[in-house]
Structure 1
């Protein structure tokens, strides 16, 4: 997992009680088929898939863990290899920020298959 530079800035703003725009919670999960290694400079998925992002459920299972859980259902045959956590539901929105990006061994899917993502940010 790569905590992006933008994600770090977002965290610092929250710690400093900086006013964030409405809807700025990092609660949206997107997936893709890109395989380029994670990098702190990432601002989006390598290759976003066509499915819409999902709104994740936020929780704090431990004092030092921020968690976002969400399910995305495939509308096509594809192999998913990456996931990211965003502040916008809309892909490519002008104010889009990506907190973290994960690249993993491909998961082959058929149309109608789903993946439940648990994206944790820990110390």
Structure 2
């Protein structure tokens, strides 16, 4: 099974993301995932993440065999926000400066031939 993003339709305070569902390369059906725009704002997630989130939601729904309406919920967006925050925290901890020995700098200054040069 493969899904392809087709675009979205704006309907007042929500977006409806449209997808093709293909099996063995042939179009099976066209489905849509509705999302209230306010849930993106509430969880500090950019609206440009909508197609990705909707695609994940649709894939999960189809794997469960869900045939009803598909809707991106606050819980879906919250889970995405939590995952994104965890990944950012891991990247931040990975780029912290390496630990340096505190005494090396002072020791080097005392041994430097330039320490009292010209005084």
Higher relative contact order by CA 8 Å / sep ≥ 6: 1 or 2?
1
Bigger helix share: 2
Higher strand share: 1
Relative to the length of structure 1, the TM-score reads 0.24
| Larger-Rg structure | 2
